[in-house]
């Protein structure tokens, strides 16, 4: 039973170490990804900061860098918490192993004392020959043999436990060293964040001097946003109306047929609003599959970072902008891809660029600021299929795709739907 509990203890310990290794690896990958995004934003800001003119993209990139820096600090905090748990677990393991080792040594010392008292061959023979009968003598002989074997096993247990104890002590020291390094990294990141926030404050305080120019830039962006929003609202309305007419025609056909056959029609009442988009079994399944993949949808570009999130954003006291999706910075010439299988419903122009609208049952995904497209309306697409190429802004060489997600006629925040 003692061996069984030892094995169970080490098995649970191994599982805990494996889970820690997986979580730690995930956090390190996330931290490295955040570091790469921050470095990319730094390169972009170095280009734009050389110009005396302050642009919305420059302010937005600075805000994004601060947001990413805060996320990196939070990731480091998670790593520290994970290490604290591992340090506590390893400390308990060291204490348990030390206790087991002391117990094993105590038992082994008792066996040695017993063997010393009965170490002569004469004593062992007398112990065997003093038996009342042959069967008892055989059992006494087997007992002596088993005692010798058990003593050897105990010696092996002591060596194994001592080895495990040494390994855990080394691991504990490594955990403590890693925690110290993380605390130093955390302190450096906090200092850098403080400097970046000071820079942000200075930049925003200087907005009043260039407010007119920024408002002109914002006005252009808002016109494009309004144009896109109107086109999407009209497109979704047409989809809903087309499905409604189709459902009403099917209901009328069933009613006429039922009347001619002198029976009651079985067609369900026509759904209202955007729910009509999931009225058929095929579209209902597609909607359900899309919803089931929330948090696991691939990004519309292979490499990128969000420069402006969903919602309303303020740039100083008098400059605000509303975003129905997310803006994702990527590499020049980056391919835009579908985040889920569906059907292309519209390809249209927004200013000098293009937008693609894909339907996934009751859901729609929209990809805009494309330089060129490789799909057409009515075409079925699969997940990660190429839709076109992102446009690059010649004024600052930035490459951004604008991505939106709608449920019926309501825009949703895409951030929680995309894979981390």
The enclosing domain of 306 has a CATH number of 2.70.70.10
Q: How many CA atoms lie within 13 A of 335 on its CB side?
A: 10
Domain housing 319:
211-247+274-416
Residues 186, 293, single domain; the answer is no
Higher per-residue pLDDT: 406 or 168? 406
Higher per-residue pLDDT: 297 or 176? 297
Residues 7, 112, single domain; the answer is yes
Q: pLDDT band for position 55 (50/70/90)?
A: low
If one counts the domains in the chain, the total is: 2
Helices 211-260/56-117 angle, 10° precision: 80
Residues 43, 99, single domain; the answer is yes
Q: What is the pLDDT of residue 15?
A: 47
Q: Which 3-state string (H, E, C) describes 299-338?
A: CCCCCCEEEECCEEEECCCCCEEEECCEEEECCCCCEEEC
194 belongs to a structural domain = yes
Residues 139, 221, single domain; the answer is no
163 belongs to a structural domain = yes
Q: Whole-model pTM?
A: 0.62
Q: Which two tokens stand for residue 328?
A: 């994702």
Higher per-residue pLDDT: 233 or 262? 233
Q: What is the pLDDT of residue 108?
A: 64
The DSSP bridge partners found for residue 322 are 312
Euclidean distance between CA atoms 330 and 37, whole angstroms: 10
Span 136-157, average pLDDT: 66
Express each pLDDT in 360-383 by its tens digit: 999 999 999 999 999 999 999 999
């Amino acid at each position: 039973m003692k061996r069984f509990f030892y094995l169970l203890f080490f098995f649970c310990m191994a599982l805990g170490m494996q889970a820690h290794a997986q979580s730690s690896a995930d956090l390190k990958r996330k931290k490295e990804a955040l570091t790469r995004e921050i470095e990319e934003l730094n390169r972009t800001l170095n280009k734009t900061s050389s110009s005396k003119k302050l642009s919305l993209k420059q302010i937005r990139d600075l805000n994004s860098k601060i947001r990413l820096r805060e996320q990196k600090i939070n990731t480091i905090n998670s790593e520290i918490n994970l290490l604290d748990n591992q340090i506590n677990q390893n400390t308990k393991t060291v204490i348990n192993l030390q206790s087991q080792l002391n117990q094993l040594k105590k038992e082994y010392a008792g066996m040695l004392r017993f063997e010393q008292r009965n170490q002569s061959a004469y004593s062992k023979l007398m112990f065997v020959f003093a038996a009342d009968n042959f069967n008892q003598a055989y059992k006494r002989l087997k007992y002596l043999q088993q005692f010798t074997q058990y003593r050897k096993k105990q010696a092996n247990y002591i060596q194994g436990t001592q080895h495990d104890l040494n390994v855990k002590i080394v691991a504990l020291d490594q955990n403590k060293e890693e925690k110290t390094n993380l605390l130093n990294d955390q302190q450096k990141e906090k200092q850098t964040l403080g400097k970046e926030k000071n820079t942000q404050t200075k930049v925003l305080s200087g907005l009043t001097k260039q407010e007119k120019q920024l408002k002109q830039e914002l006005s252009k962006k808002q016109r494009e946003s309004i144009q896109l929003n109107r086109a999407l609202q009209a497109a979704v309305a047409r989809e809903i109306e087309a499905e409604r007419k189709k459902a009403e025609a099917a209901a009328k056909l069933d009613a006429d047929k039922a009347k001619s056959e002198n029976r009651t029609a079985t067609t369900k009442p026509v759904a209202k609003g955007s729910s009509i988009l999931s009225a058929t079994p095929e579209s209902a399944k597609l909607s359900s599959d899309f919803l089931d993949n929330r948090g696991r949808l691939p990004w519309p570009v292979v490499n990128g970072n969000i420069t402006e999130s969903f919602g309303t954003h303020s740039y100083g006291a008098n400059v605000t902008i509303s975003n129905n999706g997310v803006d994702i910075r990527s590499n020049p010439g980056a391919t835009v891809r579908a985040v889920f299988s569906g059907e292309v419903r519209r390809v249209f122009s927004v200013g000098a660029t293009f937008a693609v609208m894909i339907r996934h049952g009751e859901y729609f995904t929209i990809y805009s600021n494309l330089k060129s497209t490789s799909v057409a309306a009515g075409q079925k697409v699969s997940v990660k299929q190429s839709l076109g190429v992102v446009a690059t802004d010649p004024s600052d060489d930035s490459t951004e795709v604008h991505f939106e997600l709608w449920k019926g006629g309501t825009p949703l925040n895409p951030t929680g739907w995309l894979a981390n």
